[in-house]
Amino acid sequence: MNSPIEPLIHRRRFVLGLGALPLAMAPAARAAVGGLPSNTGHGDLSPEWEKLRGQIFGTRPIDATSGRVQLIAPLRAAYGASVPVKIVSHLAQTPALYVKRMHLLVDKNPSPLAATLELTPEVGQADFETRLRVDEYSHVRVVSELSNGELHMDSRYVKTSGGCSAPPNRDSPELIGKTIFKLPAPPKMGVPTTADLTVIHPNDTGFELNNVTVMYIPSHFVRTIAVSYAGRKIFDADVDFSISENPTWRFNFVPRAPGELRAEVTDSKGQRFIGSLQVG
Amino acid sequence: MTMSFRPLLRRRIASAFVAGALALCGIAANAAGLPAAYSPLVVEPAVDKGRFEFDLGPALARARRENKRLYVYLGASDCPFCRRYEAFLGKNAGELVPHFKPWIVVDLRSSLSTQADKLFIRAGGKSLAYMDFQRSIGDERTRMLVYPSVWLFDPQLKPLMQMPPGTGTFETVEEQLEILNLVQ
C-alpha cells in the first residue's frame, strides 16, 4: 500500500523539476505560423508530458489508441480558471477488471498533476467530471490505470490561458469548507448512480493578485477528498490547485441499500471538512 | 516684408493642422470597427440614462430572412486588443472573407468605459444587462465583460458554440477558420 505522503512528494518533484524546463525545452521548441506551437493536435505529445511521464510512470507502456478512456474538454474555454472536463471510461467497472487509478494532468500548469484518483469497483462506472484551471495553451491528459496494470491515455489540446492567476471569488468566506452532495436524479439500488460533490473553497493557487493590496494571495487549496458510501470506499482523490475554485466532482457509485454518502476533505492548511447525504 | 508674410504662414500652418486633424480622424474612423471587407452591420448603442443598449433585432431579422448565422463582435473604440483583432481581419480579408459568407457580421461599437452594468443587449423584445443576457443564452462568460468579445448565433439567437473571452485564441487564419467551422 502506498504511503499517503508519497503522491505529495511526487507532486513537489514535478513542480521543482518543471522549473528547469524552459532551458531544457529551448532547443526543441518548434513554432508554427502565427507563433503557435506545432504540437497542437489533441493526441500530440509535449516536452512537459515526456518529462512527467517518466516521473510518474517510468518506462511502463501507455496505450493512447485503445479507446478505453476518453477525455472530453473544449478546444477553447469560456474561462481559463474553470475549464469543464469529462472523463469517460469505456470499460465496465467489475471486480475482475476495473479502473484502479486515474491521473488528470495539465501539461503546462505550474503544478501539472491536477488529480490522482484511487478508485474501487464500487464506483460502478468510472466516469468523472470536474473543472480545471488551465494556465496557458496546453494538453490536458487523463491516464487510466487498470487493475491488471495496463495504462490507457487520452488527451485534448485546450486553448485558453490565465487560469492560475484569475481573480478569485470571495463572496462568502464563511462558507469555506462547506461540502455538499447532490444527486441529479433519484438513486436506483444496485446500479451506478450519479452524484455531484462540491467543496466551497477558494483553491487559491498562490499566483492570484489581490487587487486591493497588490499582494499575491497565499496558496490555499483542497488536498484530499475521500468519498465513501455506507462505510465502503468509493474513491480517494489527491488533488491540487489545478482544480478550479469550489472543487466539484461528478462521479458514480452503486448504492446497494440505503446508506450515507460521505466525503472527508482536507486542505493545504490542514483543515478538515466533512459532508454527507443520506441516500435511500 | 517678413511681417506681411506671417499671417499667410499662420494660415498655412493652421490649414495644415486642420488637414492633419481631419486625416487623423479619418484614420481613427477607419481603424475602429471591423474592416469594411466583411460588410459588417454596424450597431451603435442607444444611450439613455447611462445605459448603452445594442439592438440585435434588425440583425436577427436579416439573419432569418437570409437564413444566415450571426457573427456578433463587440468592440470598443479605445481598446488596443480590438484594434489588433480588426487589423488581423483586415490583413487576412482576402483569405477569410469567403469563409464569412454564411455569416452576417455584426459590429457592436462600444467603449471601454461601458462596463457590464451599463451594457444592455436588446433581442426578442427584451433588453437585458450584459450578465443577464449571458445567463439567458447559457453563455459561461458571465463573470466579466471582456473587450473584444464574439458570439455566434443562429437566426433564433441560439448560441452555436461556447466562445472564449476575447479574440486572442483565434488570431491566426487557421484558428479563425476553426471558429467559423464551429470546431470545439
DSSP chain B: -HHHHHHHHHHHHHHHHHHHHHHHHHHHHHHSSS-GGG--EEEPPEEETTEEEEE-HHHHHHHHHHT-EEEEEEEETT-HHHHHHHHHHHHTHHHHGGGGTTEEEEEEEE-TT--TTTEEEEETTEEEEHHHHHHHTT-STTS---SSEEEEE-TTS-BSSPPPSSSGGG-SHHHHHHHHTT--
pTM recorded for the entire structure: 0.79
CA–CA gap between residue A206 and residue A217 (Å, rounded): 5
ipTM above threshold 0.90: no
Residue A172 has pLDDT above 60, yes or no: yes
**pLDDT tens-place string over residues A180-234:** 999 999 999 999 999 999 999 988 888 888 777 888 888 899 999 999 999 999 9
Q: Is the predicted pLDDT of residue A6 greater than 50, yes or no?
A: no
Chain A partners within 8 Å of B141 (Cβ)? 78-79
pLDDT computed for residue A167 by the predictor: 67
Rounded mean pLDDT of B12-38? 58
Helix, strand or coil for residue A235?
Answer: strand
Cα B136 to chain center, whole Å?
22
| Residues recorded for chain A | 280
pLDDT of residue A36: 60
Confidence check: pLDDT of B177 > 60 = yes
Query: Which three cell numbers, joined as nine digits, stand for B121?
Result: 443587449
Q: Taking the C-alpha atoms of A121, A123, A127 and A129 in order, what is their torsion angle to the nearest 10 degrees?
A: -140
Element (DSSP H or E) covering residue A237: strand A232-239
Q: Does A228 touch chain B (CB under 8 A)?
A: no
- Nearest CB partner across the interface for A159, out of B140, B143, B169: B169
Q: Which SS3 state, helix, strand or coil, does residue A57 take?
A: helix
Chain B: which residues have CB within 8 Å of chain A?
Answer: 139-141, 143, 162-165, 168-175, 178, 183-184
Q: How confident is the model at residue B12 (pLDDT cuts 50, 70, 90)?
A: low
User: Considering CB atoms only, which of B164, B172, B183 is closest to A77?
Assistant: B164
* Closest-CA residue to B82 (of B164, B166, B173): B166
Residues A79, B178: C-beta atoms closer than 8 Å: no
Cell numbers at A179, concatenated: 461540502
The candidate with the shortest Cα–Cα distance to A182, out of A84, A277, A82, is A277
The verdict on a CB contact (< 8 Å) between B140 and A159 is no
Residues of B in contact with A78 (CB under 8 A): 139-141, 162-165
How close is the nearest chain B Cα to the Cα of A143, in Å? 22
Q: How far apart are CA A267 and CA A276, in angstroms?
A: 18
